[in-house]
Amino acid sequence: LFKEPVNLSEIICHGLEQIKHRQSHEIKAYISPNIWIEGDKFMLNLVLSNLVENAVKYSPKCSEIIVRLFEENKLLKWQVIDGGDGIADDEKEKIFQKFYRVGNENTRKTKGTGLGLYLTKRIVTQHGGEIEAIDNPGGGTCFEISFPGFQVKHA
Ligand code: ATP
Ligand code: MG
């Protein structure tokens, strides 16, 4: 990990610009500006692409994906929300295990290695943060990352 002060707002906005145009979904971003953390740019981009890739893969075509970055109760929250089928309560922690995928060969419609969320969680933890899967009230899943350490630097 190569950590330096990075503008997470910018990393997310630029990252989304790169992937937006080749997605079959509508991606909406609500990104609070000038948020800085001590982080590894490359790894944070990987977190973004893993979560958005999952949101795309596990929700219907043309449905909406929302990416948010905001401050709440002194924590920095970074959310990726989809309108998919959601994740059962007893799977919400298992999905972060190495090679874990929900279902079995007969029920799964998608391909994957089950490494995406394992790596994502590792990277988040290495940045002092936490990640969890939460039910989205309107259906689907919200992956929420919380970071305790961040700064708002006004340009
Ligand atoms: P890959 O290694 O290519 O990312 P993967 O997508 O199967 O493969 P993870 O990203 O680690 O692996 O996700 C693990 C499992 O969690 C998935 O197989 C899927 O069952 C479930 N999952 C992940 N994201 C979502 C989501 N947004 N909605 C519903 N289920 C999800
Ligand atoms: Mg994945």
7-11, 68-72, 103-107: segment of lowest average pLDDT: 103-107
21-25, 63-67, 108-112: segment of lowest average pLDDT: 21-25
ipTM of the complex: 0.99
Give the whole-angstrom CA distance, residue 137 versus residue 102.
21
**Closest CA relative to residue 40, chosen from 32, 48, 51:** 48
Q: What is the pTM of this model?
A: 0.96
Residues with C-beta atoms within 5 A of ion ligand 2: 54, 116
- For tokens 């922690």, name the residue: 93
pLDDT at 108 over 90: no
Mean pLDDT computed over 65-91: 97
Span 6-17, pLDDT tens digits: 999 999 999 999
Q: Is residue 40 within 8 Å of 62, Cβ to Cβ? A: no
At 90, is the secondary structure helix, strand, or coil? Answer: helix
Ligand 1, pocket-test mutation among 25, 46, 53, 54, most atoms within 8 A of CB: 54
Residue 137, phi-psi category: left (phi > 0), alpha (psi -120 to 50), beta (remainder): alpha
